[in-house]
Chain A
């Protein structure tokens, strides 16, 4: 029995290894996609986009992912595999934006084009290019929308912030401070969450970007100040959790919730009036543009350009809402659902 189990385990291990290795020698040009995890629908969509474009352009794509968000070791191992494999380009969504830099340098020294997707490296110019959502702008859009929606009441709004996690990663800071900027709140230091003095900011809490965290954070904030009437959320699962908490105290009707992401469940929540507005981002576009850039690099040696005024290429963020306001461009949920992911 024991030896049978052992044999079974070895077979399984061999199968896993074979899957990981993938079809190796099919074509000349190969590229790697390394995401934070392969469970988040955002990255699933990204992989779809990369795969479709690779098939179209005749590139062999190999996808790698960390086990959980923050898993740097798996990503380092993935980059090493790509170098050994002779890949021409790497599309990387870094989990640890600083720690991965050393491995990225090795890849670039080996002549590989490295493009950071979604999350910039620190410093940003360690990658040949960065294709990402302008998260600050995404925050600004929902901030401006919330301010216009509240009208005169914006002057004495009570705002609760459902942020990502205690270490304040860049995406967390950018969206949060972008929201404040859009809403017209002085951010003091734009690199730090929580140093503001505006009395309209009544609460900051962290959600880990999921429903469970969103619910607990909203409960905590309501304890701090039960009069909260505007809720900023880092993403839509956190918004759904916050909504559940508001509903449990009967406040779901008189609170404006805004969010960022544009996942399909999130856009449906906008359509249902649970979330007032969300900034939609486009993972599929990031990935397909990344593959195109690799193809172009292989053919011509040319590296991708940046969006003017930014140090990365902005793949765009669009406000999705069924209650458009003047001065803030937006699309409705029907259009949003066509472009959503997850």
Chain B
């Protein structure tokens, strides 16, 4: 190009040598605050990451080595593994400007299917696990079909299916817990994600590793594949996406099915964590996952945010919960602070948005 510019072969190209050569760009001379605002806009996971680091530093300063050691830090990972996996499912849906209130119910129902299919019908455990995944996929398909084909608002759809799946769970399981010892003897594969790798003081359960791998895989897919960009496009502006050739309905259906599958995975991990299959667990998984997503800086209006932010959001909640318990405060303070964090996160999101306007 440079040579071509130096010696234009055509008469009308001579004007090129005198023209601007830099790439077209927005101007950011502005103040420090505005530059910060812009940086945060282009890296949505940065705010939660900063908050996470600050909160770890703060609790380390207060609690010292009791908090700042590999065992405690990996313990926090274990405690947020379920929220993190369910949060990944939630992230996909929220990126399409939807919301999924049924994630926790799908998770528990899938885990109950995995357990009961093994113990009630005597299926081999790996087959029962597959049935659990199928259950998650079917639940997700129902959500997706109602949202994409029936054009019902996701909030209403999943408010309904949340009740349906949860009631199904209680009716089907008769609220019977399958004991850890029975699972250990007859179907240890159900507890697969409870096994762990120990490196020094660090304890990484397979559940934690699954969460990390899942999130990294989804991060890659969302950022570097056409499918992933379409997810963002739908959340940003479904009409524009449709006009650009994205098959919005099919995409939505796929997103909800995948979200259901991820919830089923969370159900399997849940069995690993508890040892047992308990139909009463995961009652707040929907709220916890939405909390992680929001604190993670993902916009509830869709189309903006990073799945890495969700993990940071989940970890922030985990750090606060454990840190405050170690200090010995009333558990209500944890909820109060998390509430403040949610509002702060949304406020920051609104402020960052202004850079685009």
Residues of chain A touching chain B, judged by Cβ–Cβ distance below 8 Å, are 1, 5, 39-41, 44, 68, 166, 205-206, 210-212, 215-216, 219-220, 223-224, 237, 240-241, 243-244, 247-249, 265, 268-269, 272, 274, 342
Contact = CB atoms under 8 A, between A and B. Distances in A.
B263 to A, nearest CB: 16
B278 interface: yes
B244 interface: no
Given A41-B175, A205-B325, A244-B273, A237 B280 contact: yes
Interface in B168-209: 170, 174-177, 179-181, 194, 196, 203, 205
B72 A237 contact: no
24 contacts: A5-B150, A39-B279, A40-B175, A41-B176, A44-B175, A205-B325, A206-B331, A210-B278, A210-B280, A215-B274, A216-B79, A219-B75, A220-B325, A220-B326, A223-B325, A224-B325, A224-B326, A240-B177, A243-B180, A248-B194, A248-B196, A265-B176, A272-B181, A274-B181
B280 A39 contact: yes
Contacts of B175: 39-41, 44, 342
Contact of A212 (B176, B180, B282): B282
B322 interface: yes
Interface in B38-85: 66, 72, 75, 78-79
B151 to A, nearest CB: 10
B181 A211 contact: no
A114 B330 CA distance: 36
Nearest to B281: A212
Contact of B326 (A210, A215, A223): A223
Contacts, number: 89
- 8 smallest beta-carbon distances between A and B, as pairs: A244-B275, A211-B274, A212-B281, A166-B331, A39-B170, A220-B325, A211-B278, A39-B175
Contacts of A212: 270, 273-274, 278, 281-282
Interface of B: 66, 72, 75, 78-79, 150, 170, 174-177, 179-181, 194, 196, 203, 205, 270, 273-276, 278-283, 322, 325-326, 328, 330-332
B93 to A, nearest CB: 22
A244 B207 CA distance: 15
| A contacts with B: majority SS | helix
A223 B322 contact: yes
A63 to B, nearest CB: 15
A244 B274 contact: yes
Nearest to A213: B281
A136 B278 CA distance: 27
A237 B278 contact: yes
A223 B75 contact: yes
Q: Which of B79, B180, B279 has the most CB of A within 10 A?
A: B180
Contacts of B328: 224
A272 B278 CA distance: 19
A272 B182 CA distance: 11
Given A223-B72, A249-B203, A269-B181, 12 more contacts: A5-B150, A41-B175, A205-B325, A211-B177, A211-B280, A212-B282, A219-B78, A224-B328, A240-B177, A240-B180, A244-B273, A248-B194
Nearest to A241: B274
Contact of A223 (B66, B203, B282): B66
B206 to A, nearest CB: 12
A219 B180 contact: no
B52 to A, nearest CB: 19
A219 B276 contact: no
B201 to A, nearest CB: 11
A248 B274 CA distance: 11
A240 B276 CA distance: 8
Contacts of A244: 180, 194, 273-276
B179 A269 contact: yes
B177 A237 contact: yes
Contacts of A223: 66, 72, 75, 322, 325-326
